Amino acid sequence: MADVYPLPDGYLSKNTRTNLETLRVHKGQILLSCSGTIGKVCYVSKTLDNQIFSHDLIRLNVNIPMDIGYIYAFLRSSVGNMLLQTNNYGAVVKHIEPEHLSGILVPNPPDKIKEKINDLIIRSFELRDESNESIDNATAMLIKELKLPPIDGFQVEQFDNGADVNAYSVKLSELAGRIDGSYHLPIIKAITKHLCANASEVTTIGDKRVSKDIILAGIFKRIYVEEGYGIPFLGGKEISQLTPKTEKYLSRVYHTKRYEKELKVGEHNILVTDRGTIGIVAFVPKHWESYAVSQNVLKLIPANNEIAGYLFIFLNSEYGKMLVRWQTYGSVVNMIDNNSLSVVPFPILKNVKAQAEINRLALYANELRYQAYLLEREAMSVLENDVFKS
């Protein structure tokens, strides 16, 4: 729920023995994580409306519409979050219940202040929704131009379609030094063949027309400092959020040289998780500039802004993610590296105007996310200065 564009990681059967409607969330609610990691807060806007979420969330229904954004901001603040943390229980897995919220005191400033904070928060989430819609439109245009069927719609060649196992043959000339079966899945050959038939050209991510560089940060001993004294250090879990919340800050004194060489990210860089859950993709917005990323995240620097957005949309699509994960290696911890990402197939569209429009929509979506961040930051500033310090 903390992701700027949350996607489901599972699906429930309608035959599940529970009332699914009690798990459904609705626009205007505030969601609060209540088990494990306590205190994550989200507002249900158009993107999440009517979706089914885990029972490990408290659904907060606010009586007065003007108070929704204000309460969201209060619970997101350091003060509100601290109050939530002091109300948890449990020795192993921390937990809070809805009744614990009833004892939390909330400042009640003049309506004018609450209305201002509410308007800023609601507008921030409207921009996030618009950003997500732009990405959806760009992805739909990509699929249309490449005539891509659903993933399960591809015709794959099996060695024996009647077998109980996924059996297929591989030519010796196609081994490419890999004897792991997952590298030679027929679906990959089917996707690549389809791209070649419907694109103007299929090159690779490492093509200098596509990317300037793909950087995998080295492993090093990290010297951490307190917030405000160092460089925000992002891992794979944070890059899907609008405002990554990290508790790790690298010392500028000890890590400046490495930071400038391989850790620093810039606007319109593309981040790709390279181990564990592989293939999570993020398009770096302006407010992430000068953050640092760990060796768990590959930093892809597009060749220019004329292809950066299109490149992100392709990698972020289910087809792009599948081609990225195709490069996975490792027996204990799955991973890819910069060389793996560089050889991922990448289609150039026949329709030059369509590719430019896809690129424009992605860049526009990224700018909307930056503006959404600025609005929420302004709301938090009003809360801090006009409520907490008044």
Q: pLDDT-derived band of residue 342, with 50, 70 and 90 as boundaries? A: very high
Q: pLDDT-derived band of residue 1, with 50, 70 and 90 as boundaries? A: confident
pLDDT score of 88: 66
**Cβ–Cβ under 8 Å, residues 68 and 124:** no
Domain 136-365: assigned CATH number: 3.90.220.20
Integer CA distances (angstroms), 72 to 7, 29, 41, 363, in order: 22, 10, 7, 28
Q: Give the sign of the dihedral formed by CA 284, CA 247, CA 240, CA 85.
A: negative
Task: Sheet containing 230-234: give its strands across.
Answer: 249-251, 230-234, 292-293
Q: Given a cut of 70, is residue 137 above it in pLDDT?
A: yes
- In angstroms, how far apart are the furthest CA atoms of the chain? 75
pLDDT tens digits for range 115-128: 999 999 999 999 99
pLDDT score of 225: 94
pLDDT tens digits for range 214-240: 999 988 899 999 988 999 999 888 999
Q: By three-state DSSP, how is residue 52 classified?
A: strand
Superfamily in which the 1-106 domain is placed by CATH:
DNA methylase specificity domains (3.90.220.20)
Average pLDDT of the residues of the chain:
91
**Rounded to an integer, what distance in angstroms lies between the CA atom of residue 272 and that of residue 338?**
10
Rounded mean pLDDT of 7-28?
Answer: 85
For the chain, the domains span: 1-106, 136-365
> At a CB cut-off of 8 Å and minimum separation 6, what does 104 contact?
80, 83, 84, 87
Matching residue, tokens 């885990």: 54
Q: pLDDT-derived band of residue 290, with 50, 70 and 90 as boundaries? A: confident
pLDDT tens digits for range 36-60: 778 789 999 999 999 998 888 899 9
pLDDT tens digits for range 24-36: 999 999 999 888 7
pLDDT score of 177: 83
**Rounded to an integer, what distance in angstroms lies between the CA atom of residue 277 and that of residue 272?**
10
What percentage of residues in the chain have a pLDDT greater than 90?
67
From first CA to last CA, the distance across the chain in angstroms is 32
Question: For 144-148, 201-205, 253-257, which range has the lowest pLDDT when averaged over its residues?
Answer: 253-257
Beta strand pairing call for 30-33 and 297-302: unpaired
- How many Cβ atoms from other residues are within 10 Å of residue 125's Cβ? 23
Indicate the residue type of 58: I
Rounded mean pLDDT of 153-176?
Answer: 75
Picking from 214, 219, 216, 151, the residue whose alpha carbon sits closest to that of residue 186 is 151
- How many Cβ atoms from other residues are within 10 Å of residue 23's Cβ? 16
pLDDT score of 262: 92
Q: Given a cut of 90, is residue 71 above it in pLDDT?
A: yes
Rounded mean pLDDT of 340-362?
Answer: 97
pLDDT score of 162: 65
pLDDT score of 179: 82
pLDDT tens digits for range 74-110: 999 989 988 887 766 655 457 788 888 888 889 999 9
pLDDT score of 35: 80
Q: Given a cut of 70, is residue 250 above it in pLDDT?
A: yes
β partners of residue 335? 275, 329
Q: pLDDT-derived band of residue 159, with 50, 70 and 90 as boundaries? A: low
Rounded mean pLDDT of 332-359?
Answer: 95
Gyration radius from the chain CA atoms: 23
Rounded mean pLDDT of 295-300?
Answer: 95
Q: Per the structure block, which two tokens stand in for 106? A: 């909330």
pLDDT tens digits for range 171-219: 888 888 888 878 888 889 999 999 999 999 999 999 999 999 999 998 8
Distance of CA 11 to the CA centre of its chain: 19
Rounded mean pLDDT of 376-387?
Answer: 96
pLDDT score of 166: 73
pLDDT score of 160: 63
pLDDT score of 123: 98
Question: For 120-129, 235-244, 350-359, which range has the lowest pLDDT when averaged over its residues?
Answer: 235-244
**Rounded to an integer, what distance in angstroms lies between the CA atom of residue 173 and that of residue 249?**
48
Rounded mean pLDDT of 356-383?
Answer: 97
Q: pLDDT-derived band of residue 265, with 50, 70 and 90 as boundaries? A: very high
**Cβ–Cβ under 8 Å, residues 317 and 139:** yes
Who wins on pLDDT, 62 or 9? 62
pLDDT score of 94: 75
**Cβ–Cβ under 8 Å, residues 369 and 244:** no
